[in-house]
Structure 1
Amino acid sequence: MFKQIKQLIAVVTVLALLAVPGTVLAEATPQFKDPQVDAGSMAADALVARPLGIVATVAGFGLFVISVPFSALGRNVGDAWNAMVVYPAKFTFARPLGDFD
């Protein structure tokens, strides 16, 4: 009886060890990104997207100031700040030129 249980445990262990590497090594998407950005993307970013991002940041700040009393009532001032000011500012100032991802 003890020998059969020992064999069963050995078989289950081997099957488990064979099954794990296939799922651990699986990768949904590649972890690298092509660093090459073409000149057209850079020009569009510098001439159109960045100025619009500055306008969006300033307008978002204005809307944030107007919405602060309502956000305070709902206790989500931080969420409003992030959505109206931080995200447009990051889009405008914190990403590489020509990178729209």
Structure 2
Amino acid sequence: MKLIQVFCLVIAMLFSNMASAETQAIDGYDVLADVGVVRPLSFVGMMVGTAVFVALLPGTALATIPAPHKAFELMADTLIINPAKYTFARPAGDFDYNE
């Protein structure tokens, strides 16, 4: 029980230290958290988005019939392209990436 309390305290201290950082400098912890946790999760999100995109293709085809005819483009950007850019094009440790 005491080990669980110590573990929770250490995790809380790590997150409180990251949250209180006011500078934009990227340190080793940001890169480690990015490469170890955020990028794999965003890759999984991109794969799930691709599966959802494929599953909703018939509905998207129907949504493309009326003008502006951009349903495929908007859906692909939202579900596939943006997560792919966040996973592969973003510099390591930069969580404020907006392209």
Would you say same fold, with TM above 0.5? Answer: yes
Q: Which string of whole-angstrom CA distances, capped at 9 and with x for unpartnered residues, describes residues 66-95 of structure 1?
A: 011111111101111110000110010000
Matched to 2:78, the amino acid is A
Give the aligned partner of residue 24 of structure 1: none
What is the count of residue pairs matched by the alignment? 68
Q: Which residue of 1 aligns with 2:79?
A: 84
Separation in 1, partners of 2:46, 2:37: 14
Aligned to 1:68: 57
Give structure 2 stretches of 5+ with no counterpart.
Answer: 1-22, 65-70
RMSD: 1.3
Determine what percentage of the aligned residue pairs are the same residue: 38
Task: Return the TM-score normalized by structure 1.
Answer: 0.64
Q: Which residue of 2 aligns with 1:28?
A: none
Which portions of structure 1, spanning 4 or more consecutive aligned residues, are displaced by more than 2 angstroms? none
TM-score of the superposed pair, with normalisation by structure 2: 0.65
> Which residue does the alignment assign to 2:91?
96
